[in-house]
Amino acid sequence: KAGVTQTPRYLIKTRGQQVTLSCSPISGHRSVSWYQQTPGQGLQFLFEYFSETQRNKGNFPGRFSGRQFSNSRSEMNVSTLELGDSALYLCASSSEPNQPQHFGDGTRLSIL
Amino acid sequence: KNEVEQSPQNLTAQEGEFITINCSYSVGISALHWLQQHPGGGIVSLFMLSSGKKKHGRLIATINIQEKHSSLHITASHPRDSAVYICAVPAGGATNKLIFGTGTLLAVQP
């Protein structure tokens, strides 16, 4: 069974641009969560989606948004990028909420 | 006070040693996760436990719900165990929203 796939693996953007990150969950998993990891703040929860519905949102500004498609694939978008958005963005999937989560390798986003 | 606290923050051990990493939390939880992160970023879920003890190979996780405390033990440690170990708890209810500890950086020297 293929694991969680995140694309792209690395991304370099400049301030003010926007970016879209993609996550394909494990086949059959309907729950997808996104996390941000930075050296200063550690791991922080961004969003959780289940069956195309956002169930939870972390404490991030409205520039961070996401969605889930009918095939459970998910995307997150960050608009008007700031230097502080430089981070490793991780996606995780599970069969349903409150079950073990399987993480992707992450997308490392660098803002210049 | 952070909701999830880990100790120690850094740990250096010699190959073969028995290792213990501790996690304390202040919120009521249904389960606790132990995660492993190697350099380069990938995270692996080691355990999700709600009571007692779980074992997988040389790794053992225990939890005491009443004391709000969990431990991760590594027996016969090996350099390949070198990684960051992170405990995390659900924010509450049927959710995948996790609150993370700050992690324990483990280095096992040959």
Q: What is the pLDDT of residues B5-61, one digit of tens each?
A: 999 999 999 999 999 999 999 877 788 999 999 987 789 999 999 999 999 999 999
Average pLDDT of chain A, as a whole number? 94
Residue A8: asked if its preceding bond is cis (omega within 30°), the reply is yes
Q: What is the mean pLDDT of residues B72-86?
A: 97
Tell me if A42 and B102 make a contact (CB, 8 A cut-off): yes
Taking the C-alpha atoms of residue A76 and residue A62, their distance in angstroms, rounded to an integer, is: 12
What integer pLDDT is reported at residue B95 of this predicted model? 79
Query: Worst-scoring range by mean pLDDT, A92-106, B60-74, B86-100?
Result: B86-100
Q: What is the mean pLDDT of residues B95-99?
A: 87
Tell me if A101 and B103 make a contact (CB, 8 A cut-off): no
Taking the C-alpha atoms of residue B94 and residue B82, their distance in angstroms, rounded to an integer, is: 32
Tell me if A37 and B41 make a contact (CB, 8 A cut-off): yes
Q: How far is B77 from chain A (nearest CA, A)?
A: 24
pLDDT at B94 over 80: no
pLDDT-derived band of residue A97, with 50, 70 and 90 as boundaries? confident
What integer pLDDT is reported at residue B2 of this predicted model? 65
pLDDT-derived band of residue B89, with 50, 70 and 90 as boundaries? very high
Q: Is B95 on the interface with A (CB under 8 A)?
A: yes
Dihedral over Cα of B22, B52, B4, B77: its sign: positive
pLDDT at B1 over 60: no
Residue of B nearest to A3 (CA): B44
What integer pLDDT is reported at residue B37 of this predicted model? 95
Q: How far is A18 from chain B (nearest CA, A)?
A: 23
pLDDT at A43 over 90: yes
* Region for B79 from its dihedrals, namely left if φ exceeds 0, alpha if ψ lies in -120 to 50, beta otherwise: alpha
What integer pLDDT is reported at residue A24 of this predicted model? 97
pLDDT at A1 over 70: no
H, E, C per residue of A24-47: ECCCCCCEEEEEEEECCCEEEEEE
A73 vs A96, residue with greater confidence: A73
> Phi/psi at B101 (nearest 5 deg)?
-75, 175
Q: CB of B11 within 8 A of CB of B103? A: no
